[in-house]
Chain A
Amino acid sequence: MAEFNYTAKDFKSENEVRWCPGCGDYAIMNAVQRTMAEMNIPHEKFAVISGIGCSSRFPYYMSTFGFHSIHGRATAIASGVKTANPDLNVWVITGDGDSLAIGGNHFIHLVRRNIDVNLVLFNNKIYGLTKGQYSPTSDRGVVTKTSPFGTVEDPFIPGQLVLGASGNFFARAVDGNVKHTQEVLKLAAEHEGTSVVEVLQNCVIFNDGIHAEIADPKFRNERQLFLEHGKPMLFGNESEKGLVFENGKLKVVTIGTDGYTLGDILVHDAKTADPTLHLALINMALPEFPVAMGVIRSVDAPVYDQAVRSQIETVQASRKISNVDELLRSGNTWKVDEESSSEPVPFFLKKCPLKDA
């Protein structure tokens, strides 16, 4: 491939990157830039759309076209960009506040329509930009500036929302694991339709270590299960553990124990339309289960922007009226002859004078 010979550097802007030192956003940006460099798409075809939040500063740091838009509306704006100009490769950079609080509505409708955009959801379970209030993904009971005695509400699990909205692509990654994040982003980018990648991101100032139990490289093999389509669901330092499906639910087993063999371990099918197992994988949580990483669901389905275009083409080909001008000149139209009338022609029957002025 490498027709364009881009490197990640080609996607960096000249703006000084201003996130807090140690913020997980740096690593995610590197992964995105490396992914874009490998996509073999002309640089000018990329558009990066963000809403409001720390992660939403992203477009300033990219050399691509972009939008730093309205709180929660990045998904709606991206829907407009992609539908109006399907040639663009559209990315939405958003956070748990932006996409799941005020933007929850637009988020589920983007997913439901299956518009071909790549959405990267930075989940740090806190409002970082406004300095530390709880977010819709904050765990029940968490103490923040607006919940000094602990929250009394349950969080959204982003993957559940995606499946609930009949989503076709959901993946999960960890900010510090740039190599894996990049692999996942590549698959997300290749997927046609809305792809949602949740990146567990550390907010070093207001929620430091929130994902440490999962994300710490020390425990990576034991606490994260890296899913790959067509491969058995194995984890552990020696890949000695795996998942089986028994009595209608997932179960962790050790190969060679209780009679379980490698042949009993579930093989990941990301491409099956049935979301049952995908949901079970999304729901897996410590300590009973490892946390599912990688592409959990990647199903081919009709894509909105392609369908819109093809519908327009079909209708245009089958109708006599193919554009607005022809529509206006069809049916009950007549010409007002100014000179033959003795009455003055009312202004609303005349051409708007604005253009002549």
Chain B
Amino acid sequence: MGELRLMKGNEVIAEAAIRCGCDAYFGYPITPQSEVMETLMAREPWNQTGMVVLQAESEVASINMVYGAAGAGKKVMTSSSSPGISLMAEGISYIAGAELPCVIVNVQRGGPGLGTIQPSQADYFQSTKGGGHGDYRLIVLAPASVQEMHDFVGLAFELAFKYRNPAMILADGAIGQMMEKVELGEFVARQTTEQVDAQYGSWATTGKKKSRAKNVITSLELDSALMEQNNLRFQEKYRKMQQDEVSFEAIRCEDADYVLVAFGSSARICQKSVELARAKGIKVGLLRPITLFPFPSEPIARLAKQVKGFMTVEMNAGQMIEDVRLAVNCAGERNPVHYFGRLGGIIPTPGEVVEALEQKLIGG
């Protein structure tokens, strides 16, 4: 067993980054995730692993520093909260278009605009449908515990490099601020330039020797025919993710008549709701998407043949419900799919969820 610690979700993002051999972090303070950079700075990873940590002048600067470091073949990340992620949208689109790997952590707060500093899941659309301009997708992981905040940093890097695509950890203020027991991973050495060259020699700007072809990192292609080929390649990549990388957890779904679909903080609440409902004799299960993109459409489609209905529980006005409906309806099923959620930084209670389930699905 690895080292056990009691840590905040935000702190563990920092610790996990250092341990998984991350090369660089560029960020800017914003509530409720400022502890990520504060922890990194206090840990002085530059002395231990050589990891660079820099407080940029804005989120726009942060993401472009990430763009630069990613182009150099480095394991690089940033973190922010919703308004800061909006500022990064342009850079994220360019990174996806230039096919570079990086990890972006969004510790969501309520919006739109400046909104609130309380937890929210209102950036589901932004994260899973792209967020910036153009046809691109992010790999989106939704942690529901401090342990997963730790585990998903390494996983996000792995997927980002596998697909040369930005990966996002979509957390929220509750997961970022809560403290839990966490088992820390072993230290993984940072990659050397030789390793980077060997693995990513085709694209990483580690220096142009005479033997090497020139590589200009760009997302621009003025020839429409070639740009279409680029886009088709991206789409093929996203299809491959959909085929190979879907991850979810099904809790007490085997005999369920009704299934709650929820991710992150909402999923934790729903786990309690399942218990409460079962104590009342209602057979409820929980399907928790761990990857929001690629979305677990197929498991939902399978459950649709078994259950009477679904209800998504989201800390937003009903965003993931669209993907659940698509999953159900595209499989030719007609189960009712409902939504329950709270907005503006309010976290639903397990009891509220059961009440909504009874009203919308069972009573209705």
Q: Are B114 and A146 in contact (CB under 8 A)?
A: no
- Residues of chain B with a CB closer than 8 A to A148's CB: 41-42, 44
**Does residue B191 face the partner (Cβ distance < 8 Å to A)?**
no
State how many angstroms separate the Cβ of A6 from the closest Cβ of chain B.
30
Known: A70-B83, A147-B55, A148-B41. 13 other contacts (CB 8 A): A70-B114, A71-B58, A71-B83, A71-B87, A102-B57, A102-B58, A130-B31, A133-B34, A133-B37, A145-B41, A145-B42, A146-B29, A148-B44
| A127/B29 contact (C-beta < 8 A), A102-B57, A145-B41, A147-B41 known | yes
Which interface residue of B30, B41, B87 has the most chain A CB atoms within 10 A?
B41
The proximity string for B residues 18-34 relative to A, scoring 1 for CB distances below 8 Å and 0 otherwise, is 00000000001111001
State how many angstroms separate the Cβ of B86 from the closest Cβ of chain A.
10
Q: List 27 A-B contacts (CB under 8 A).
A: A52-B114, A70-B83, A70-B113, A70-B114, A71-B87, A72-B58, A102-B57, A102-B58, A102-B59, A102-B60, A102-B61, A102-B87, A104-B57, A130-B31, A133-B29, A133-B34, A133-B38, A133-B55, A134-B55, A146-B29, A146-B37, A146-B41, A147-B41, A147-B55, A148-B41, A148-B42, A149-B44
Give Cα A147–Cα B42 distance, bound, in whole angstroms: 8
- Residues of chain B with a CB closer than 8 A to A136's CB: 57
Q: Are B58 and A68 in contact (CB under 8 A)?
A: no
Give Cα A169–Cα B28 distance, bound, in whole angstroms: 31
Give Cα A147–Cα B44 distance, bound, in whole angstroms: 10
Give Cα A52–Cα B29 distance, bound, in whole angstroms: 12
Closest chain A residue to B83, Cβ basis = A71
**Does residue A101 face the partner (Cβ distance < 8 Å to B)?**
yes
Q: Are A145 and B44 in contact (CB under 8 A)?
A: no
Which interface residue of B31, B57, B61 has the most chain A CB atoms within 10 A?
B57
- Residues of chain B with a CB closer than 8 A to A146's CB: 29, 37-38, 41, 55
Give Cα A2–Cα B16 distance, bound, in whole angstroms: 64
- Residues of chain B with a CB closer than 8 A to A68's CB: 114
Give Cα A72–Cα B58 distance, bound, in whole angstroms: 9
Q: Which B residues between 233 and 251 are near A, CB-CB below 8 angstroms?
A: none
The proximity string for B residues 34-46 relative to A, scoring 1 for CB distances below 8 Å and 0 otherwise, is 1001100110100
The proximity string for B residues 109-129 relative to A, scoring 1 for CB distances below 8 Å and 0 otherwise, is 000011000000000000000
Give Cα A133–Cα B42 distance, bound, in whole angstroms: 12
- Residues of chain A with a CB closer than 8 A to B38's CB: 133, 145-146
| A130/B29 contact (C-beta < 8 A), A71-B83, A102-B59 known | yes
The proximity string for A residues 122-135 relative to B, scoring 1 for CB distances below 8 Å and 0 otherwise, is 00000101110110
Closest chain B residue to A151, Cβ basis = B55
| A101/B34 contact (C-beta < 8 A), A70-B114, A127-B29, A130-B29 known | no
Give Cα A147–Cα B41 distance, bound, in whole angstroms: 6
Q: Count CB-based A-B contacts (< 8 Å).
A: 50
- Residues of chain B with a CB closer than 8 A to A133's CB: 29, 34, 37-38, 55
Q: Are B55 and A130 in contact (CB under 8 A)?
A: no
Closest chain A residue to B113, Cβ basis = A70
The proximity string for B residues 67-101 relative to A, scoring 1 for CB distances below 8 Å and 0 otherwise, is 00000000000000001000100000000000000
Give Cα A101–Cα B59 distance, bound, in whole angstroms: 10
- Residues of chain A with a CB closer than 8 A to B29's CB: 127, 130, 133, 146
- Residues of chain B with a CB closer than 8 A to A127's CB: 29
- Residues of chain B with a CB closer than 8 A to A147's CB: 41, 55
- Residues of chain B with a CB closer than 8 A to A101's CB: 28, 57-58
- Residues of chain A with a CB closer than 8 A to B41's CB: 145-148
- Residues of chain A with a CB closer than 8 A to B87's CB: 71, 102
Q: Which residue of the partner chain, among A72, A130, A134, A145, contacts B30 with CB atoms under 8 Å?
A: A130
- Residues of chain A with a CB closer than 8 A to B57's CB: 101-102, 104, 136
The proximity string for A residues 91-103 relative to B, scoring 1 for CB distances below 8 Å and 0 otherwise, is 0000000000110
- Residues of chain A with a CB closer than 8 A to B59's CB: 102
Give Cα A149–Cα B34 distance, bound, in whole angstroms: 18
Give Cα A149–Cα B60 distance, bound, in whole angstroms: 25
- Residues of chain A with a CB closer than 8 A to B55's CB: 133-134, 146-147
Q: Which A residues between 137 and 166 are near B, CB-CB below 8 angstroms?
A: 145-149
Q: Which A residues between 89 and 121 are near B, CB-CB below 8 angstroms?
A: 101-102, 104
Give Cα A131–Cα B41 distance, bound, in whole angstroms: 15
Give Cα A123–Cα B241 distance, bound, in whole angstroms: 49
- Residues of chain A with a CB closer than 8 A to B30's CB: 130
Give Cα A104–Cα B44 distance, bound, in whole angstroms: 29
- Residues of chain B with a CB closer than 8 A to A130's CB: 29-31, 34
State how many angstroms separate the Cβ of B12 from the closest Cβ of chain A.
17
Closest chain B residue to A134, Cβ basis = B55
Which interface residue of A104, A133, A134 has the most chain B CB atoms within 10 A?
A133
The proximity string for A residues 61-102 relative to B, scoring 1 for CB distances below 8 Å and 0 otherwise, is 000000010111000000000000000000000000000011
- Residues of chain B with a CB closer than 8 A to A71's CB: 58, 83, 87
- Residues of chain A with a CB closer than 8 A to B61's CB: 102
- Residues of chain B with a CB closer than 8 A to A72's CB: 58
Give Cα A52–Cα B114 distance, bound, in whole angstroms: 9
Q: Are A131 and B34 in contact (CB under 8 A)?
A: yes
Closest chain A residue to B58, Cβ basis = A102
Give Cα A337–Cα B78 distance, bound, in whole angstroms: 60
State how many angstroms separate the Cβ of A108 from the closest Cβ of chain B.
13
Closest chain B residue to A102, Cβ basis = B58
Closest chain A residue to B84, Cβ basis = A71
Give Cα A125–Cα B15 distance, bound, in whole angstroms: 29
Give Cα A110–Cα B237 distance, bound, in whole angstroms: 44
Give Cα A129–Cα B37 distance, bound, in whole angstroms: 16
Give Cα A234–Cα B300 distance, bound, in whole angstroms: 79
- Residues of chain B with a CB closer than 8 A to A70's CB: 83, 113-114
Give Cα A136–Cα B55 distance, bound, in whole angstroms: 10
Give Cα A102–Cα B58 distance, bound, in whole angstroms: 5
- Residues of chain B with a CB closer than 8 A to A102's CB: 28, 57-61, 87
State how many angstroms separate the Cβ of A350 from the closest Cβ of chain B.
30
State how many angstroms separate the Cβ of B58 from the closest Cβ of chain A.
3
- Residues of chain A with a CB closer than 8 A to B113's CB: 70
- Residues of chain B with a CB closer than 8 A to A129's CB: 31
State how many angstroms separate the Cβ of A123 from the closest Cβ of chain B.
16
Give Cα A147–Cα B58 distance, bound, in whole angstroms: 16
Give Cα A104–Cα B60 distance, bound, in whole angstroms: 12
